Chain A
Amino acid sequence: MPVPDDVAAKLEAMGLAPADPVAVDRQGVLALAALLKNELGFTYLSYCAAAHRPASESEPDRTVVEYRVRRLPRDEVAFAVVVPTGESTPSLCALYAGADWQEREQYDLVGTVFAGHPDLRRIMLPEDWEGHPLRRDYAIDTRHHPWR
């Protein structure tokens, strides 16, 4: 979906390329989200998703977190943050209350750590689960419980 014109102008003023998703670094993600929500009216967080990418020649082992926000009725903007494994990205919970459980889900399944999240613990898997099953290096037949 193309980035709306008023958003593209603001993004270029911030030094970001209007794309789908907008690539933003970890230091700038809170400022971008605040701009989108408070000034441009993107008040609805559509989703927060994450994917693990294994290390390659050019890139380290990392997680890509993508947020998509929406301005009703139809405009939407996505922005993606690259989080190297072992480091954290700022949480958007303070801005978007809907990010709370979604970021917990990403932590649970992919293992991304969100700094400043009020209650970062597992949401889907059992509390005593080890590992994050949607990571590429998670063996699909890892044994866990006696009945697995």
Chain B
Amino acid sequence: MAVDERGQAFTHPVYAFLEKLPGISLGLTTADQLLTWGAANSLFIFPMATSCCGIEFMSASSGRFDLDQIGSIPRGTPRQCDVMVIAGTITVKMAPRVKKLWDQMPEPKWAIAMGSCAISGDFYRDIYSVVPGVDTFMPIDVYVPGCPPNPDQLFEGIRRLQEKIRLKRAGEWTEPELRPDTPGFKVPSLPRVGDPARDASLDEAQLDAVMNLDPGGMLRRSEG
């Protein structure tokens, strides 16, 4: 009997038959090592490349850096992939689509957030249409910081993911990765509506500042 990531148990008649044989557990352990080796070294990648990190991803997957050398091949469909690499800013409109593609990937599956936009939204964080970090709507295994990260940093992230797969399949506990510390972004730069820390006078000051703009002022200054 095996247990998948959601905690659901599943059995197979062949498994049930094999478990009864004496000494077969030794063979199954060896087979498990083989499977672990295979799982960690043939990570098919679904490139969720929405912006400039995608260019670095393309660079990583092409000749000079050669993602194929570690057994990772970018595939065009989520149904054949093990790893989703989210490379780029995810907008509020894109987020449900990303989630849908993530749900279409077969278990077991992993996700890498590549670049600071995918990790935290970076300087687009406070824009009305940008999701402040993809881990707000889906699980992330490995964070690869950078703006954009170099191909070798992506390789390092994949290596960390392989290590995590090996440990997890061996039944060892792994430290979950946390969002890397980004100075100035640990607390939102602007307290949001509904945040108890938000001062009520902020709303009025903000609206006042916006409503008293001088629309032609910039133009007039540049002429004078």
Give residues in A with beta carbon < 8 Å to B: 51, 53-54, 124-126, 133, 136-148
Contacts and interface: CB of A to CB of B under 8 A. Distances in A.
A143 B126 contact: no
A147 B210 CA distance: 26
Contacts of B136: 147
Interface in B57-113: 92-93, 95
Interface of B: 92-93, 95, 126, 128-129, 131-132, 136-137, 190, 192-194, 203, 206-207, 210-211, 213, 215
Given A139-B207, A148-B131, A53 B190 contact: no
27 contacts: A53-B215, A54-B210, A125-B92, A125-B129, A126-B92, A133-B128, A133-B129, A136-B213, A137-B211, A139-B193, A139-B203, A139-B206, A140-B206, A141-B190, A141-B192, A141-B193, A143-B192, A143-B193, A143-B194, A144-B128, A145-B95, A146-B137, A147-B92, A147-B131, A147-B132, A148-B128, A148-B131
A interface, over-half SS: loop
Contacts of A54: 210-211, 213
A126 B211 contact: no
A146 B213 CA distance: 31
A140 B207 CA distance: 10
A130 to B, nearest CB: 11
Given A140-B128, A142-B193, A147-B92, 14 more contacts: A54-B211, A125-B92, A125-B93, A125-B129, A133-B128, A139-B206, A139-B207, A142-B128, A144-B92, A146-B137, A147-B131, A147-B132, A147-B136, A148-B128
A136 B95 contact: no
A137 B93 contact: no
B126 A140 contact: yes
A87 to B, nearest CB: 20
Nearest to B212: A54
Contacts of A136: 210-211, 213
Contacts of A145: 92, 95
A147 B137 contact: yes
B126 to A, nearest CB: 7
A9 B189 CA distance: 54
Nearest to B90: A147
Residue of A133, A140, A147 most packed against chain B (CB within 10 A)? A147
A39 to B, nearest CB: 32
Contacts of A51: 215
A83 to B, nearest CB: 15
Contacts of A138: 128
A147 B95 contact: yes
A142 to B, nearest CB: 7
Highest count of chain A CB atoms <10 Å: which of B194, B213, B215: B215
A32 B126 CA distance: 41
A12 B129 CA distance: 44
A47 to B, nearest CB: 18
Contacts of A126: 92-93
A137 B126 contact: no
Given A54-B211, A139-B206, A141-B193, A148 B92 contact: yes
B210 A137 contact: yes
Nearest to B216: A53
- A-B residue pairs, 10 tightest by C-beta: A147-B136, A126-B93, A133-B128, A147-B137, A141-B192, A54-B211, A136-B210, A147-B131, A145-B92, A141-B193
